[in-house]
Structure 1
């Protein structure tokens, strides 16, 4: 029995290291294939450069999805959104166990304006035997407060704490949105430049409080519960939201 416990513990450690290495490698490869963008700002401390890179990546995903009206998320849906979460470079990778894992940012509208972005994680997926990984960008569009309230209480399990559905895509979906907005959260993925609605039932969203403490000095629940000035670290994502989804939900 002790040997089995030790073997299980070692397997979990190997899994965590493999997953973390795969995530970092996929991020580096993805960035190397992108056009040159702005360099890190001089006023961004070294110890939060990774969080700043995450905000830049999330802002880029958001810009791409709002500037491709025939293939991206319908603007009318984003105009009505209560919150938006973007997870760049989510990977499906494992050593013996399959699943999703990624880091992103979430912002919620407060008084018609986008609130302070908070750092969040997404985990979950299927179990199976596989080695390797693939990266994709995920976007969650929150249509009401229920999903956010679940996150404030504990964690948000998609499909259980709030209904989730693959979101409509492109300009052709605009006409049917008025009668088809039944889900509380709409989910999207982008792989190889193409956006599509994606089913994410069972995935879990939680605060990345290590990143929140590093950047803001407080945890995610405190950031969502009260107004707080946005940090220069998360400014790229906050600015992209304000610029590309300016209208308040009706």
Structure 2
């Protein structure tokens, strides 16, 4: 009897472990499925932001700068706020223009920054960054970069009232076109850092999908992004 119990005990443990795994597996699948859903939603929101700004006469220069650019970074919702200690953050997509003029599939990134100073209020922005040279594209793909430190950044005014003669300054790496809702005194994109959103890249394309493999090597594709790519000049 003792021998049979000792044999049954490991079996019971194995069955218990299998039962626990069976409960956890749906949660893992749900997490992965949620990430994929969130990534698809972000692509859709990025397309909406891009189309809205391209069709807005207040951002007439965006089309011209996009046509001249080597890549674009679209962040459909950049949230900024604070009292004395402030912060900003938002996720977006990076698309790179190939030598044949076609746009890559999107790679996912997150922009984040924190600051201390005299600032109060809150702001929600839709932002399109145009990357004006190949060096800017490669800097973003090779490492986590900081605007204003690793890459030069120009922020407006590119809205209403900009003269038609305004052209891109070739010495500037990135231009930012921003549409804001709310009030925020102080702070800018200076010092903001860009991070790869690895979970979105892998859930949208599959394991091993890196920004460089997506945008430069073009190893990974997803037909879901076709409308976003088609919206780019």
TM-score, normalised with respect to structure 2:
0.72
2:71 corresponds to which residue?
83
Superposed counterparts of 1:82-231, under 5 Å: 82-93=70-81, 97-111=85-99, 112-127=101-116, 133-167=122-156, 168-170=158-160, 172-177=162-167, 180-192=169-181, 199-217=188-206, 218-231=209-222
In structure 2, what is the Cα distance between the partners aligned to 1:125 and 1:95?
A: 12
Q: What is the alpha-carbon root mean square deviation over aligned residues?
A: 2.8
In structure 1, what is the Cα distance between the partners aligned to 2:34 and 2:189?
A: 34
In structure 2, what is the Cα distance between the partners aligned to 1:132 and 1:159?
A: 23
Give how far 1:152 is off: 2.2
- Whichever structure has more strand as a proportion of its residues is 2
Which consecutive residues of structure 2, in runs of 5 or more, have no partner in the other structure?
A: 1-32
Give how far 1:202 is off: 0.8
Following TM superposition, the consecutive aligned residue runs of length 4 or more in structure 1 with deviations greater than 6 angstroms are 129-132
2:227 corresponds to which residue?
236
Q: Is the Cα contact below 8 Å between 1:209 and 1:219 reproduced in 2? A: yes
Question: 1:147 and 1:170, CA in 2 relative to 1: closer, same or farther beyond 3 A?
Answer: same
Q: Is the Cα contact below 8 Å between 1:163 and 1:184 reproduced in 2? A: yes
Larger Rg: 2
Which consecutive residues of structure 1, in runs of 5 or more, have no partner in the other structure?
A: 1-44, 246-250
Question: CA deviation digits over 1:139-171, x for unaligned, max 9?
Answer: 111000122211222112111211111133358
SS of corresponding position for 2:223: coil
Moved more, 124-133 or 151-160: 124-133
Give how far 1:239 is off: 2.5
SS of corresponding position for 1:236: helix
Moved more, 153-162 or 126-135: 126-135
SS of corresponding position for 2:163: helix
Q: Is the Cα contact below 8 Å between 1:122 and 1:204 reproduced in 2? A: yes
TM-score, normalised with respect to structure 1:
0.67
2:37 corresponds to which residue?
49
Question: CA deviation digits over 1:38-60, x for unaligned, max 9?
Answer: xxxxxxx6652211111111111
Give how far 1:76 is off: 1.9
In structure 2, what is the Cα distance between the partners aligned to 1:118 and 1:227?
A: 11
Count of aligned residue pairs for this structure pair: 193
2:15 corresponds to which residue?
none
In structure 2, what is the Cα distance between the partners aligned to 1:130 and 1:76?
A: 33
In structure 2, what is the Cα distance between the partners aligned to 1:98 and 1:61?
A: 25
